[in-house]
Amino acid sequence: MLPHLDELLGTARVVSLPLVTRFRGIDSREALLLRGPEGWSEFSPFVEYDDAEAATWLWAALEFGWSPTPPTVRERIPVNATVPAVTPDAVASVLARFPGCRTAKVKVAGPGDTLADDVARVRAVRAALGPAGRVRVDANGLWNLDEAEHAIHALAEFDLEYVEQPCMSIDELAEIRRRTHYLGVPIAADESVRRSDDPLAVARAGAADILVLKAQPQGGIRAALSVSAQTGLPVVVSSALDTSVGIAMGAYLAAALPELEFDCGLGTASLLAADVTSEPLRPAGGSIPVRRVEPDAALLDRYAASPQRRDWWLERLARVYEVVAD
C-alpha cells in the first residue's frame, strides 16, 4: 500500500546543497527528503528528468522509507574517489577528500574538454594513486564509436580497471566492447541500465562486462538486486550525487549483494560542501558504514531551498506520485 500523498507532503523537506567543485554541470544539488516509518528517505531525480522517469526514483524512496531493508552480509562498503573534470593540478586536492580510497573514478568526455585534457587528468590520477591504485573512467555515453575506440586506446596505458558507459546505446556498447576486447579493458554499463525500459537488455546483448547500479534510478534496493541476480554480471553500486540519506540507500543495496568485487561509487558525499547531517557518509579508511542517516534540523533549515524551488519540488512530488499510483 502506498502512503497517502498528504503523509509525504507533511514530512517533505527540500534542500539545496553546494558542491565543492562543479559537477555534472551544476554547482548545487537539490533533493527532497521524506520521513517514513523506517526512517528518512530521499527523492532526488535530476531536474531535467520527466515524471515517468522520476517515478522509479519515487518507488525507491517509498521502499526505503516505508519497508524494511533486505538482509545484509557486510557492515562497511569499500568506495572509490570521484574525480570531476578538473585540471591535473587540482587532482591531488580532490583525492584528499577521499581518505583511504584505493580506487578513483575519473570523469572524461566532458563538454569543452579534449582527449588530451582527459589523458592529462587520468595521468595525474594514476601518478597520485601509484601502480597499486585502481583507475576507472566514466564518459557518460558522450563518445561516438570512433571517439570511444580512439580514447580507450589512448587511456589504456594507465591500466584502467574499466571504462564506464563509453557510448550511449546498447548496440554501440556491444560494438566498442568487440573492437577493444584485445586491450583487456572491461566495459561497464550505467545509463544503458538505469535509463532503460529493459535493464536486462545490456546483459542479453553481451554489451558489458560490469553493471553499475544505483538504488534510486533503478526503482529501489529490491529492483536493483533483481537485476543483479538475473544478469549474473559483477556489480558496482554507485550514487546519483545524493545527500547522505540517499547514499545510505545505496549502502544497504551494496551490503545486500552476495558478492561485491569492486569498490563502489558511494563516496560522493565528499563532493558536497554541505550535507543534511553532521555525520555524513564520507569515506574513512576507504569505506563507508551501512547505516540509516538522521538529518539535523538545523542543517535542513540552513540549506533549505528557496520557496520557489521548494514549491517546484512539492508539485513534482505530487505529479510523480500520481504516476506511481497509476
Could you tell me where the DSSP H helices lie in the chain?
5-11, 51-66, 91-95, 115-129, 145-155, 170-179, 191-194, 201-204, 215-218, 221-231, 244-256, 297-302, 307-325
Q: Residue 288, Cα to own-chain centre: how many angstroms?
A: 15
Phi/psi of residue 120, each to 5°?
Answer: -65, -40
Distance of alpha carbon 163 from alpha carbon 189, whole angstroms:
9
Q: Which of these is catalytic: 105, 107, 134, 282?
A: 107
Q: What is the DSSP string of 128-170?
A: HH-TTSEEEEE-TTBS-HHHHHHHHHHHGGG-EEEEE-SBSSH
Closest CA to 89 of 123, 136, 114: 123
Catalytic residue among 214, 282, 310, 316: 214
Catalytic status, residue 105: no
Residue 321 corresponds to which cell in the numbers above? 506520485
Backbone angles phi, psi at 131, to 5 degrees: -65, -25
What's the CA gap between 83 and 159, in Å, rounded? 17
Residue 6 labelled as part of a binding site: no
From the centroid of its chain, how far is CA 166? 16
Quick check: 104 and 289 in contact, CB under 8 A? no
164 annotated binding-site participant: yes
Task: Give φ, ψ of 279 to 5 degrees.
Answer: -125, 70
Cα 151 to Cα 35, 145, 157, distances in angstroms: 44, 10, 11
* Annotated binding residue 296: no
Residues making up the annotated binding site are 138, 164, 190
Which residues are annotated as catalytic? 107, 214
Residues making up the annotated binding site for Mg(2+) are 138, 164, 190
